[in-house]
Each structure stands twice: as C-alpha cells, then as structure tokens.
Structure 1
Amino acid sequence: MVFDGLTDQVSRSRDFTRRALTAWHWLPAGTPEVVEAVEDVLLLVSELVANACRHGGGPGALVLDCTEDRLRVEVTDRSPQPPVPPGSRTGSGARPGAADGWPGGYGLLIVERLGRAWGSRPGAVGKCVWAEVPCPPEVRRPPEPRARAELSGGRPARR
C-alpha cells in the first residue's frame, strides 16, 4: 500500500490488511487462535504505521509478505533514524513520548511483544521497519508461491 496523498493512514492500512488476510484464508477466522493471530497482525500494522506517522515523517508503503509459516509486515518511512528498541531507552525509564506531552509511546514495546522478530533496515530514502508473526497452524498452507499484498495508488498491485 502506497500512502502518497492518503488520509486516515492507520485505518486504511488496517482495511488493506483485512482484505489480504481474507485472501490468504486467515479470515473469516475459524478458531480462537486464528482470531487472536488476526488481532495481533492488525495491531502490529497499526503500531508500525502510527510510528511512521509520528517519528518517520509519514509512512511511505506497507507490504505484507506471507509464506507457509510466517507473515511479515513492512512499513517504510522517510526518516533514516532506526527505531529505538524498548530495552535501550535512556533516562528514568519513563515511557517514550512522556516528555513531549504526547500520549502513547508504547508502539515498539507492543511490536516487540507481539512479533516473533522485528527490526529495521536502511532504505533508498529513509528506512523499513518490519515485524513477523507465525502463521496459525489452521491457515498454514503453501500460499501461491510467496503471496505478497501491496497497494499502489489505492488499487492492488501485483508482484
């Protein structure tokens, strides 16, 4: 999903993710485990896009990459600064964002708790922050050779 000119970026990214999860047979969820996995993916997408809005000069793109055993969420932004891992913050241990008066500040902690892995890498412009979650056993089937979901200019893009 490319965000140029889009408003309501977090809600649009969640809608896009729901459509991709439906195409990959995660939805409609048939078991409590799949319901929980879907909720985790939607929360990861929300947090990564919100972090790009707040700290990265706005999100550039959202890519979902599903293999047989994991789903990877990638969000690009314009800032070259890597995210600060929750365990390495300096100071009194206060939540990030407390000093600047903004609410929240728990995004990467949530990403760290929900994802089995997460990280960032430099991009041509800015960076890409990613997180991975395991596919629930109920939906583990080889997707069409490595299914990717992207949106360009508001329409699905094939890769």
Structure 2
Amino acid sequence: MGRSRGNDEPGGRTIRPEAPATTAPAPLPATAADARSQVAALLQRAGLPWNARAVTDALMVTTELVTNAIRHGGGLAAFHADVHEGALRVSVADHNPQPPITRTSPPAGSRIGGYGWPLVQSLASHLTVTPRGGGKSITADLNLG
C-alpha cells in the first residue's frame, strides 16, 4: 500500500483540515421550562454560580416573557438568549402585535395574574418592545454583575 500524498505528516498520520466552527441555533423552546433550561445552561457556560441573584432574576424574566408569549401572544415565534459584556439579553417574539399592558387596578391583593410584566420591568436594566410582522418582539437586558 502506498502512502497518500499531500496531507500526511511524518509518521503516517493524516492531517485533516479543521471543519469550520458552527453552532446550530438552539431549538425553539416548547415551554417556559425549556427556555429556562437554555438560559441556565448559557449562564453556567458564562461562569455564573447557580446561586447568584442574577441567575435567579434571569430565569424569572425568561419564564415571564416566554409564558406571556404562549398565553397571551398567540404562541412563541422566536427565542434567543446571549451573554455579552456582563449582561444577558433575552429576546422573545410572539404572534400578537399588542404590547404588554401594565395593570394598575383592581388592587393587587384581589386580582389573579398580571404580575409578570411589572416584574420584568423591575428586573431588566433595559427593555424594548418592537413591532414585527404580525406580532412583536420583546428584548430584556439584565446586568449579571
């Protein structure tokens, strides 16, 4: 048997060019728990300790945004989370063009629901609601430091 030419290094080992690094986008979460798992794994890779307050806040915001998209937004249309420069950015898109509503009455003690959006507003360092064809996208930035 002859040796192949070109990509061999001494000792007979074949040198294969490295495949370009590609990452497939994470699948669209089916539930808030799935989205939470994706964000928890992302934060773990970023080196945040599981018991950090920022992790708890990030998971609460993720849960609220995804739950609201599923319950009130006609379903989840897109989901993305990333960590950049000490902040988590979570973007959730749904099929309802109406922006979230902050309810101020009846008194908080007598109503069921309606607490998620104010919670997101209080935890996010920056929050945007952007209309998109047939729906909206909500992006929340949370400081991790």
Deviation at 1:83, TM superposition (A): 1.4
Corresponding letter in the other structure for 1:44: V
Give the length in aligned residue pairs: 119
Partner of 2:97: 80
Pick from 75, 78, 83 the counterpart of residue 58 of structure 1.
75
TM superposition score normalised by structure 1:
0.66
Deviations 1:35-59 (A, max 9, x none): 1000000000000001111110111
**Unmatched segments (≥5 aa) in structure 1:** 137-159
Alpha-carbon separation, structure 1, partners of 2:27 and 2:96: 16
1:68–1:135 contact (8 Å) kept in structure 2: no
CA contact (8 A) 1:2 1:61 kept: no
User: Which residue matches 2:131?
Assistant: 122
Instruction: Indicate the structure whose relative CO is greater, using CA pairs within 8 Å and at least 6 residues apart.
Output: 1
Q: Which is higher, the Rg of structure 1 or of structure 2?
A: 2
- Secondary structure of the equivalent of 1:43? helix
1:18, distance to aligned residue in structure 2 (A): 1.0
- 1 CA distance for matches of 2:54 and 2:36? 14
Structure 2 unaligned regions, length at least 5: 1-25
Identical-residue share of aligned pairs (%):
36
Tell me the alpha carbon deviations over residues 126-157 of structure 1, each in whole angstroms, 9 at most, x when there is no partner. 11112111121xxxxxxxxxxxxxxxxxxxxx
